[in-house]
Amino acid sequence: MNVRRALAIAGTSTLAALFSIHGPLPAAAQEVVQDEGAFYRAFHEASQAGDTARALEAAKAYLEKFPSGQYAEFIKKWQDTARMTQLDVAIKEKRTADMIKVGEEILAKDPENLNVIYALAFNIRRNELLASPPVFQNAATAVDQAKRAIALIEAGKTLTGVANFDKDATLAWLTQILAINESKNDNDAEAIRLYEKSTALAPNDPMIVARNTLGVVALRQGKYAELAKAYNALPEADRAAPEPTPEVKAAREALYLEADALIEAAAGFVAYGRTKGLPPATVDRVNQLLETVYKGRFPEDATLEGLKKILAGKGAPPA
């Protein structure tokens, strides 16, 4: 007998025997296969149609029903790519709520994805915290993600795909977010500390330094105005008396102390602004504030010689 024909006959007989012994698939097993196929088809049709939102819902439904199904690994990989695409689109279109939602879905699976964490913090800062007027609806999320990013970077993690990753500048941006939030919460001392920490991390970056220094000036100006109001509320006779009362003396010392701090901050911004070519209108506005406060603090210096020396000492070119 032909050997090949014998094997073919034997193979056919064996298969027939197997089917005669085991019979058709049980109805329940057939239903599982059919169900899995239906769930996958729902995902496949949506993804092929370019309906990413519907495809993600179908993918989620499939994985919940068949976590170890034959298409599970493929769908998981597709999910990762689709979510990153969704995040990128939400960022470009400045849809903050969608950006946060998708970002948090990614981080639920990959909690140390620094690129996503940084993207959430940075874009909330850019689109909301630094808006005019500022929006603080998602400030808590920005702060949470900034703190997570700082911890990961300080532990040695870097942004993926960034050839010249600047650790200090990145930490400066993130620290600035914390400063803005503390300022919003009226924690002036902590906000100033964080602004100054951010500046120290990137002293040669005009965008970071200018924003930080202006933040400090604004905080100092607010405190100075508050103390000036309190001092001026005291009886004029008491304020003009040769020997001031303890109350007047304390109020005056507090006012002078804050004036000195405001002069220091404003002079720092003006000097930096003139050196780095910051917008003249902004520099001039802060300089006017500086001169007003300086004249109030040192009325005897009518020509502002002392102020000129302060600015020169900070490297400012002549006005």
Tell me, yes or no, whether 314 lies in a domain.
Answer: yes
Listed residues 176, 197, 218: the one ending a domain: 197
In Å, what is the CA distance from 54 to each residue of 41, 58, 81?
A: 12, 6, 15
DSSP per residue, 13-29 = HHHHHHHHHH-SPPHHH
Tell me, yes or no, whether 11 lies in a domain.
Answer: no
The token duo for 319 is: 């006005």
Tell me, yes or no, whether 22 lies in a domain.
Answer: no
49 and 64, same structural domain? yes
pLDDT in the model for residue 34: 60
Give percent helix, percent strand, percent coil of the chain, each to the nearest 5.
Answer: 75, 0, 25
Tell me, yes or no, whether 1 lies in a domain.
Answer: no
C-alpha 279/C-alpha 261 separation (Å) is: 23
240 and 272, same structural domain? yes
Tell me, yes or no, whether 73 lies in a domain.
Answer: yes
pLDDT in the model for residue 314: 94
Q: What pLDDT digit, counting tens, does each position of 243-282 carry?
A: 999 999 999 999 999 999 999 999 999 999 999 999 999 9
192 and 161, same structural domain? yes
pLDDT in tens, the chain (319 residues): 333 333 233 333 333 332 333 444 444 444 545 688 888 888 788 778 777 778 778 778 877 888 888 888 887 787 778 888 889 999 999 999 999 999 999 999 999 999 999 999 999 999 999 999 999 999 999 999 999 999 999 999 999 999 899 999 999 999 999 999 999 999 999 999 999 999 999 999 999 999 999 999 999 999 999 999 999 999 999 999 999 999 999 999 999 999 999 999 999 999 999 999 999 999 999 999 999 999 999 999 999 999 999 999 999 987 6
Tell me, yes or no, whether 136 lies in a domain.
Answer: yes
pLDDT in the model for residue 145: 98
Tell me, yes or no, whether 69 lies in a domain.
Answer: yes
pLDDT in the model for residue 138: 97
218 and 318, same structural domain? yes
Which residue range(s) make up the domain with 261?
A: 204-319
**Which residue matches tokens 């996958």?**
40
Number of domains in the chain: 3
160 and 143, same structural domain? yes
DSSP per residue, 173-222 = HHHHHHHHHHHHTT-HHHHHHHHHHHHHH-TT-HHHHHHHHHHHHHHHHH
Tell me, yes or no, whether 105 lies in a domain.
Answer: no
Mean of the per-residue pLDDT values for the chain? Answer: 87
Give the burial string for 292-305 (b: 16+ CB within 10 Å, else e): ebbeebbeeeeeee
318 and 216, same structural domain? yes
